[in-house]
Amino acid sequence: MSNASQCILAIGKMGNGKSFAGRIFGATTIVGHSTNSETDEVTVHYCGNGFLC
C-alpha cells in the first residue's frame, strides 16, 4: 500500500503562487502574521513531460 498524497511547498519572495499572496495554486489560503497558515486542499495532476497542472 502506498500513499499518493504529496506536499508542495511554494517558497520564495513575494509574488504569485505562494500563500503570502492569499492563493496557492488557485486555492484560497488564510494568511496571518506568523509562520503558520491554513490552506485548502489542492489536487495537483501530472500532465506528462515533467509538468504538473
User: Distance (Å, rounded) from C-alpha 35 to C-alpha 53?
Assistant: 27
Residue range 6-47, pLDDT digits in tens: 555 655 555 544 544 455 566 666 665 666 555 556 666 767
- Please indicate, yes or no, whether the overall pTM of this predicted structure exceeds 0.75: no
Extract the C-alpha cell encoding 10.
Answer: 511554494
The total number of structural domains in the chain stands at: 1
Identify which of 52, 51, 19, 16 has the alpha carbon closest to the alpha carbon of residue 33.
19
Domain that holds residue 10: 1-53
Extract the C-alpha cell encoding 30.
Answer: 488564510
Extract the C-alpha cell encoding 18.
Answer: 505562494
- Determine contact, residues 18/37, Cβ cutoff 8 Å: no
